[in-house]
Amino acid sequence: MSKVQNTYLFAKGREFPSFEGMTKDEMKSLLGGKGYGLYLMHCVLDLACPVVLNLPTFHAHGLDENGRLPQDIVADVRAGLADMEQVTGKKLGDPVNPLLLSARSGAKFSMPGMMDTVLNIGLTDAIVDTLAKGELERFWLDSYRRLLQMYGDVVEQIHEDGEDPFEKVLHTFKAERNAETDLDLTGADLRELISRYKAVYVRNDREFPQDPVEQVVRSAEAVFRSWGNERAVFTRSLEGISDALGTAVNLQEMVFGNKSVRSATGVYFTRDKATGIKSEDKLDGTVLFQAQGEDVVAGIRNSLPMEALLEHPDPAFHAIYHEMKETGTRLEEFLGNMQDTEFTIEEQDGHPVLFWLQIRDGKRSAKAESVIAANLCDEGIITREQAVMQVNPERFEELLFPQLNPAARDAATVITSGSAASPGAASGMVVFTQDKALELAEQGKPVILVTVMTSQEDVKGMKASEAILTSTGTKVSHAAIMATAWGIPAVVGASEISIDRAAKAFTANGFTVKEGDVITVCGTKGGVYLGEVATIIPEDLDPRAQQIIDWAHEIKALDVRANAEAGETQAAYDNGARGIGLFRTEHMFLGDRLPFIQEVLFGNDEAKAKVALEKIFEISKGDFAQSMRIMDGYGVTIRLLDAPLHEFFSHDADMEREENPMLGHRSVRMAITHPAIPRTQIRAVLEAAYELKVEGLDPKPEIEIPLVVVPTEVAAILAVTTEIATELHAKYGVWVPYALGIMVETPAAALQGEAMVAALREQLPGVAPEAHPVHGFASFGTNDLTQTTLAISRDDADKFLPLYVEQGFFAHHPFVSIDPRVERMVKIFVDEARAVDPEFEIFICGEHGGDVYTIERLHLIGLTGISMSPGKVYRSILKAAQSQIVHPRA
Amino acid sequence: MSKVQNTYLFAKGREFPSFEGMTKDEMKSLLGGKGYGLYLMHCVLDLACPVVLNLPTFHAHGLDENGRLPQDIVADVRAGLADMEQVTGKKLGDPVNPLLLSARSGAKFSMPGMMDTVLNIGLTDAIVDTLAKGELERFWLDSYRRLLQMYGDVVEQIHEDGEDPFEKVLHTFKAERNAETDLDLTGADLRELISRYKAVYVRNDREFPQDPVEQVVRSAEAVFRSWGNERAVFTRSLEGISDALGTAVNLQEMVFGNKSVRSATGVYFTRDKATGIKSEDKLDGTVLFQAQGEDVVAGIRNSLPMEALLEHPDPAFHAIYHEMKETGTRLEEFLGNMQDTEFTIEEQDGHPVLFWLQIRDGKRSAKAESVIAANLCDEGIITREQAVMQVNPERFEELLFPQLNPAARDAATVITSGSAASPGAASGMVVFTQDKALELAEQGKPVILVTVMTSQEDVKGMKASEAILTSTGTKVSHAAIMATAWGIPAVVGASEISIDRAAKAFTANGFTVKEGDVITVCGTKGGVYLGEVATIIPEDLDPRAQQIIDWAHEIKALDVRANAEAGETQAAYDNGARGIGLFRTEHMFLGDRLPFIQEVLFGNDEAKAKVALEKIFEISKGDFAQSMRIMDGYGVTIRLLDAPLHEFFSHDADMEREENPMLGHRSVRMAITHPAIPRTQIRAVLEAAYELKVEGLDPKPEIEIPLVVVPTEVAAILAVTTEIATELHAKYGVWVPYALGIMVETPAAALQGEAMVAALREQLPGVAPEAHPVHGFASFGTNDLTQTTLAISRDDADKFLPLYVEQGFFAHHPFVSIDPRVERMVKIFVDEARAVDPEFEIFICGEHGGDVYTIERLHLIGLTGISMSPGKVYRSILKAAQSQIVHPRA
């Protein structure tokens, strides 16, 4: 790798710096994103672009205690400036032909507006005196005024009573002169303004340097320092950008879009950033005549569409329009992505001359993302893999949920907000109880369940609701997980809400909302609004988006299944899931069906219990058959009853309350102590499969044992499955293959890969080989595995875990993305199990299965597949494909 | 190794079988314990011992479906019998000189009385007809009568209405004849009895075989089958003896202690089994003239002391007495242990002849165990190591606790029983509340706290009690662990008890016990008695027992510390603990001190909180200083507050109730969210040490962080310890070294050995090196580690864990002995930590630290030391030494 330099000069006619041996990513780390773009424009694409001296990112960490660049670096900057003089033929401080510069920040990852910029560096009293004598008097005076203002703000950080005094002076002065915009100020006005600006310096005991080199160096230092300003630090913490990266400073020769009415500045996107379409007769972008870059952003005057260039009386502008369009195509072909560009047109010797100031991969809407990627691929510019890589898996979901109409949202009254726990938006009448929810829903009225928190018992009420709002909980609480699973919008942890169930009302921020009042909940952003707010309901998946998913399907190495019960299976299949990774059987015991299980568990009438079990059997069999029918030919993993006993009591009955129910008498432990229940469930799974087989279908039932800690538990269940399979064979005269597996959700199970595989493969003496599972499997329940590995109860973590995450005790929220310690548990199991049986099937079915960070980690570990709520199937297919592209697996 | 034979003949004058290449243990497995003893007597010690044909243990598993020996084995038995005929000059079935045999069981581990025996095999109608014509008429008839009875019972298993018909016939017949004992029956009586016995066979459709070989083979088969009888299976399950071992059958030539008045049988112990003393003029044992072995056991007549032989008119018996005493010495010298022997004296040709029938290491009292071992060592017979190996660590504790006087106990009225949770016995007045306990205790009255279960809040009441009785819970419940720690007898899980707190009474089995009534609780055996039952209070540790402990101290590789607070430290030191492995700081916040911590946690007056913290500081410092003073020069590990918030509420306040408090907001998490508390504790630990240092002592404070899951938690505490150390250095002008460590009680911590060691070694910039810990350490909290690894809450496990243990899902109770999965966690941590730092100190301080199985496992893994409640220090020192002897560690 070539030696890192203290400065890099990008200029036509000079030898380009060498970055031999560096990757694109390393170059971006060194030069910053903007610096890398400038490198490309100069050294690769040969665009018209003003000369640039890049001061790389590492200087941001090399400032001395006064925030100054060390002397040897300053010497290199001086040498670089001298080079720029030579290249441009201009000279710093020359009153006739001065070299003027901008100093712009540019970190590896773009943080628009977060750091500082100084323009027009190099102007001095002497230069302005000279140049302002010509016809551009106003232009030079205005440029100098801007420099004084920016330098005072950015470099000297002059504030008076916490305000920017220059802005105040300008505002007062414009009022005095009855000037509506800057353009209304005359040359004399501007001279007066400059003198008032200088007075600001004087009364703050500062001096504006008349040495252009000092201006440059001080400006560069200030921009470097702005890496550490509050806004930038906050933005980085939000977006997960490392503090260690630093920003670069780009010292670029000024070109002036504000030089004359035949000068302009603007931004141009090579495709439409909203629709993704590349139109032949309409370019996406804006142009602003006689303006500098920041004026476009500030929106001080109406900007014009790009086609304004075509309508200009001077055909030279038409040529510029066509040149930009052709260059856009060339950029895309070269860079393989839609580009967001900044440009300036400066009148030179009476002719408009186009300069490109910046290019970068353009930000775009979620919808445009797929359209652009798929079209670029169809156009032969990028490969399928590259197209898949261009689509953000998490944003993909935005295509699917009803969203608030942005205009309606902005006009709506905000009651409060909370965690955006399940995406989508919906309006409905507020209810506080399940009964009321069901009552109104039956009348066809949309309802929103508002409660402190939800539990298994609220399932029917939740399902009957358009949206869910809770005052406690987090994105990983029951309400959030269930709502996500069912695709119901939810906002949780809206802690400003105070619910008075007796009064049938909640209050928040002075609003009182009563039962029956209509509110709107936005689970995508977390807002809660008074009344009904209009939503936009997306059409079917855009064909281009479907194309991306289809390619991802072909590429990915991980199987993608869904966590779904009978009623959700079709949606899961439609979203692309092939197989069910977790069919929870708890819910089939709730609601109307609760009395049956209560009879079995707590009744003391054996005959009634038998009847109840028969009911459970029939209901279960029907549900299992429905899923296996839809997922014909694909595995359907049905988990045996996982819930603790106490969940089958009502909220009020607190008898049997366990100290730590999470570590209590539940799951396979219940199966061992109450064997009639797993026996009924296993019979229902297998008989459903036998019936489908007789119909000619290809059911693939997979029975999963929850909370296993010892192989002997597997042996106990295996005895039952083989017995029932043998009975069914006698009844139906065929064998239907089935699989038996364990849920790995305890450290004990994770540490016994070898023993668990052996237990699943055990051949029982005297039992037909065909009565045994065709194969064993394991599926990680990473919620519980996280709880046990970290000794953190998800339900109790709100008191300390947010603080832990915020203060960096954990790198990320362990219930959102897999914790490294849990990941190690996973790896220990996988390595041991695969050492015994390289084909052993291993899945994940915890909510982590739909988390993009986690998916990549699991791809690397070598899992067979992942499973997640139906709403996260798309993102998971995409992320699985991206993981395979980045880290190909055989 | 020589080939295993189907039979082994041990007989003088014949070549002894070869066991080349087999260990003593393997020989015992093959021949059984009794068979091995017979081998020694014949082949090694050359004792007078009747010839034996041993049928080894594996035959017990080789019987066919009818319980018969396979034909080839029978052939080998026949050949062995032919050999015996040759050796003895007697013949099976010979009416003049018949070879008569016993068939005795003998498994590897002795299970006295659990399996079957048949004596006098070989007698037939024809033989008895002939021999009963001589002067021994009664003897031969009685011997035949016994054979018919035993064969009918053991081999034919003849029962009538569930009773033994032979015993019934005998009883009726003796009544008819007015015979008080068997000896009162005449020859004619016995002939009549034999005919009635034969009638029993006939009416049960059985036949007594007149072929002696058939008698032998059928008897041997029956004894083999008795390995599987209900009694034997149950005993094995109780004592943890493997079903796979099997019993051997020893066919031994009969000698007859019942042949004449000058014949006898008896047992002889080479030292006193109660005191351990080897007396010169009194042998421990009994002799019974004219009797067979089972008569001694059955106690049908008064047996005599061994010295009866010396008082016999025939000096030949005196010689036998001296021969036995000398042989006893020889046996001990050879076998290195006290021997329990069986002998028979048979009159032959008018002379009493001594035969040794059995030798084995003798069972003895807990007290005798140490005395014998220490004395054998002092006598030069065994080494210190062998002496230490002879003492059972768990029985050693019996020396220390008050025990019920056995006679008084047998006479007392039993109310109920429960789990023997903390050894010792005590009487006192029943109380049901802490307040009442304290009230009566203050009046000097002994009280026994009777409650459903105990919690942290009952600590003062528990400490004020002589004993504790709970109706729920197990040996690992709070009550049990705390009682053991404090040496208070406790019975828990006495589920027959029903407590009515309102009525101030409990009932059980028809008894009603009111507040103030006196009961006695035996925590050693689990009994609960009405009124006061006399106890025996042991003296100071017997000097011989102390000698064993002293040797064990020198031998062991593991450091042995105690889990003790200030008040228990002296007792811990006296018991041999060197260092405190766990000083819990929870209790210092309870009782009188509770209001202080409540003020800090829940008050909203900052000034008051500050005062409360100062109080906590002073109290804590005093307690810490007391422990470090007693343990001067040894490490004292003080754990930062471990309790969850809710423990500082009263029982009634259920606000802040967590779903899973075990996985909740507690321990280091509390320290992070409420930093004033750890800061106060750390200051108290370190300042106590500084004060002692100034006094000239050598305090070794060790600060322990509970429930660590990420290294960043260590960093947070390290910042505080170094800051406080720096302050104290400024105040005292010296540096007092301290250690900082983590409690490893989560899988997350266990998986991060390397990272945790690194975090503990971190040198903070700008902080003096001396302000840092002198070393890091870790201590396993295996209670919590077991809970998290197995996802089993100790408090909730009663519903399924007993069933799991009983049905073999777990090999042993995971909260009593370390579970293999938890052990793997331990090993992962130790291996990783030691790879980074081979000297890194690693301890255990959970209750497993005092469990003998666990101690050996941890010795093997290479822990630095172990720590347990003071009452278990002796056993732990012993077990640590034994582990080192069996598995020497460098």
Q: How far is CA A751 from the centre of its chain?
A: 33
* Whether B709 and A791 lie within 8 Å, measured CB to CB: yes
pLDDT of residue B301: 63
* Chain B residues whose beta carbon lies within 8 Å of the beta carbon of residue A673: 799-800, 803
The answer to whether the beta carbons of residues B249 and B103 sit under 8 Å apart is yes
CA-closest candidate to residue B440, choices B422, B412, B465, B407: B465
The answer to whether the Cα torsion of B748, B752, B757, B761 is positive or negative is negative
Higher-pLDDT residue of B274, A630: A630
What whole-number distance in Å separates Cα of residue B810 and Cα of residue B797? 13
Whether residue B803 lies within 8 A of chain A, CB to CB, comes out as yes
Query: Testing the interface with A: which of B673, B806, B812, B821 to mutate, by most A Cβ within 10 A?
Result: B821
Residue A364: alpha-carbon gap to chain centroid: 14
Q: Could you report the per-residue pLDDT of B776-793, keeping only the tens digit for each?
A: 999 999 999 999 999 999
List the 722-781 stretch of A: residues with Cβ below 8 A of B. Answer: 745-748, 751-752
Three-class HEC string of B193-215: HHHHHHHHHHHCCCCCCCCHHHH
- Picking from B416, B665, B564, the residue whose alpha carbon sits closest to that of residue A797 is B665
A793, B752: Cβ pair inside 8 Å? no
Distance CA A864, CA A860 (A): 11
User: A654: pLDDT confidence band, cut at 50, 70 and 90?
Assistant: very low
| Any A CB within 8 A of B602 CB | no
Q: Evaluate if residue A397 carries a pLDDT over 80.
A: no
3-state DSSP of B724-760: HHHHHHHHHCCCCCCEEEEEECCHHHHCCHHHHHHHH
Which chain B positions have a beta carbon within 8 Å of A476's beta carbon? none
CA pair distance A863, A556, nearest whole angstrom:
12
Give the mutation candidate from B789, B805, B822 for the A interface (greatest A CB count, under 10 A). Answer: B789
Please state the rounded mean pLDDT for residues B279-305.
78
Q: A662 vs B659: CB contact, 8 Å cut-off? A: yes
Q: A136 CB near a chain B CB, below 8 Å?
A: no
CA–CA gap between residue B671 and residue B719 (Å, rounded): 13
CA A504 to mean position of chain CA atoms: 37
Q: Do B710 and A809 touch (CB under 8 A)?
A: yes
- CA dist., res. A797 & res. B659, Å (int): 10
- The number of beta carbons lying within 10 Å of the beta carbon of residue B72 is 9
Interface contact flag, A709 B791, Cβ < 8 Å: yes
pLDDT at position A653 over 50:
no
Q: Cα–Cα distance between A130 and A136 in angstroms, integer?
A: 11
- Please tell me the predicted confidence (pLDDT) of residue B648: 73
**Residues B488-545 pLDDT 10s:** 899 998 989 999 989 999 999 999 999 999 999 998 889 999 999 998 877 578 899 9
Distance CA A549, CA A393 (A): 10
Distance between CA atoms of residues A114 and B181, nearest Å:
110
Please give the DSSP secondary-structure letter assigned to residue B666. Answer: B
Q: pLDDT of B541-593, one tens digit each? A: 889 999 999 999 999 999 999 999 999 999 999 999 999 999 999 887 777 77
Task: Pick the catalytic residue from A377, A587, A845, A848.
Answer: A845
Q: Count CB-CB contacts under 10 A for residue B3.
A: 5
Q: Do A658 and B752 touch (CB under 8 A)?
A: no
Give the number of other Cβ atoms within 10 Å of residue B889's Cβ.
11
Which residue in B775, B845, B848, B859 is the catalytic one?
A: B845
Under 8 Å CB-to-CB from A538, ≥6 apart: which residues?
A: A399, A400, A401, A402, A403
Regarding beta strands B425-431 and B559-563, do their DSSP bridges make them parallel or antiparallel, or are they unpaired? unpaired
CA B669 to chain centre: 39
Instruction: Give the chain A residue whose CA is nearest to the CA of B820.
Output: A748
Q: Cβ distance B702 to B637 under 8 Å?
A: yes
Residue B797, number of CB atoms within 10 A of its CB: 27
Tokens of A351: 């002719």
| Other CB atoms within 10 Å distance of the CB of residue A20 | 7
Cα–Cα distance between B797 and B818 in angstroms, integer? 16
Q: How far is CA B96 from the centre of its chain?
A: 52
Instruction: With H, G, I as helix, E, B as strand and everything else as coil, classify residue A843.
Output: strand
DSSP A292: -
Which range is least confidently modeled, A27-41, A339-353, B372-386, B643-657?
A: B643-657
Nearest residue of A to residue B660, measured between CA atoms: A660
Q: Is the CB of B673 inside 8 Å of chain A's CB atoms?
A: yes
- In this predicted structure, the answer to whether residue B638 has a pLDDT above a threshold of 90 is yes
pLDDT, tens digit (0-9, with 9 covering 90-100), for A855-869? 999 999 999 999 999
Q: Over the stretch A155-211, which tens digit does the pLDDT of each residue have?
A: 999 999 888 899 999 999 999 999 887 778 899 999 999 999 999 999 999 999 999
Q: Give dist(CA B85, CA B357) in Å, integer.
A: 19
CB B749 within 8 A of CB B742: yes
Tens-digit pLDDT profile for residues B832-865: 999 999 999 999 998 899 999 999 999 999 999 9
Whether the predicted pLDDT of B654 surpasses 70: no
SS3 state of residue A644: strand
Catalytic site residue B49?
no
A478 annotated active-site: yes
Residue type, B687: E
d(CA A630, CA A573): 8
> Residues B395-406: pLDDT tens digits?
887 777 788 888
Mean local confidence (pLDDT), B86-93: 95
What is the b/e burial string over A432-457, where b = at least 16 CB atoms within 10 angstroms of the residue's CB?
bbbebbbebbeeeebbbbbbeebebb
| Nearest by CB: A710 against B663, B673, B810 | B810
Q: Which two tokens stand for residue B636?
A: 């004292």
Name the residue of chain B whose CA is nearest to A670's CA: B800
Q: Given a cut of 70, is residue A518 above it in pLDDT?
A: yes
Beta partners for A416? Answer: A528
Instruction: Work out the end-to-end distance of chain A between its first and last CA atoms, rounded to an integer number of angstroms.
Output: 31
Mean pLDDT across chain A, nearest whole number? 91
Q: Which of A191-195, A476-480, A548-552, B63-67 has the lowest mean pLDDT?
A: A476-480
Q: What is the pLDDT of residue A846?
A: 87
Contacts of A745 in chain B (CB under 8 A): 791
Cross-chain residue pair A821–B747, CB shorter than 8 Å: yes
Nearest one of B417, B426, B421 to B479, comparing CA atoms: B421
pLDDT recorded at residue A658: 81
Residue A707 DSSP symbol: T
Which positions ≥6 away from B85 have C-beta within 8 Å?
A: B91, B92, B99
B669 touches chain A (CB under 8 A): yes
CB contact under 8 A, A795 and B660: yes
Q: What is the mean pLDDT of residues A252-269?
A: 92
The pLDDT of residue A300 is above 60: no
Q: Which of B42, B59, B478, B848 is catalytic?
A: B478
Separation of CA A808 from chain center: 20
Q: What is the pLDDT of residues A660-700, one digit of tens each?
A: 888 988 999 999 988 999 999 999 999 999 999 999 999 99
Neighbours of B308 (CB within 10 A): 17
CB contact, 8 Å: B453 with chain A?
no
pLDDT, averaged across chain B = 91
**Please, what is the Cα angle at B172 between B169 and B173, to 5 degrees?**
80
The Cα A814–Cα A825 span in angstroms is: 14
* Res B792: pLDDT: 95
**Percent with pLDDT over 90 in chain A:** 71
Of B456, B474, B477, B659, which to mutate for an interface test with A (greatest number of A Cβ within 10 Å)?
B659
What tokens does B260 get? Answer: 């004449």
pLDDT tens string B435-490: 999 999 989 899 999 998 887 678 788 889 999 999 987 765 678 767 876 778 99
CA-based nearest distance A420→chain B, Å = 24
The alpha carbon of residue A453 is apart from the nearest alpha carbon of chain B, in Å, by: 13
Nearest CA to A679 among A645, A641, A732, A643? A641
- What contacts B554, CB < 8 A, 6 or more positions away? B384
Could you tell me how far CA B585 lies from the centroid of its own chain? 32
- Measured between CB atoms, does B806 come within 8 Å of chain A? no
pLDDT at B655: 54
pLDDT at B73: 95
Q: How far apart are CA A156 and CA A165, in angstroms?
A: 12
pLDDT of B656 reads 58
Q: Give the C-alpha separation, A737 to A768, whole Å.
A: 12
Q: Is B804 on the interface with A (CB under 8 A)?
A: yes
- Whether B796 contacts chain A with CB within 8 A: yes
User: B841 - beta bridge partners?
Assistant: B777
B778 dihedral zone (left: phi>0; alpha: psi -120 to 50; beta): beta
- Residue B560 near residue B876, CB atoms below 8 Å: yes
Burial A92-114 (b: 16+ CB within 10 A, else e): bbeeeebbbbbbbbbbbebbeeb
Please indicate whether, in this complex, the C-beta atoms of A673 and B799 are within 8 angstroms of each other.
yes
User: How many angstroms separate the CA atoms of A225 and A231, rounded?
Assistant: 12
Q: Does A191 touch chain B (CB under 8 A)?
A: no
Is A655 buried (19+), middle (13-18) or exposed (0-12) by CB count in 10 A?
Answer: exposed
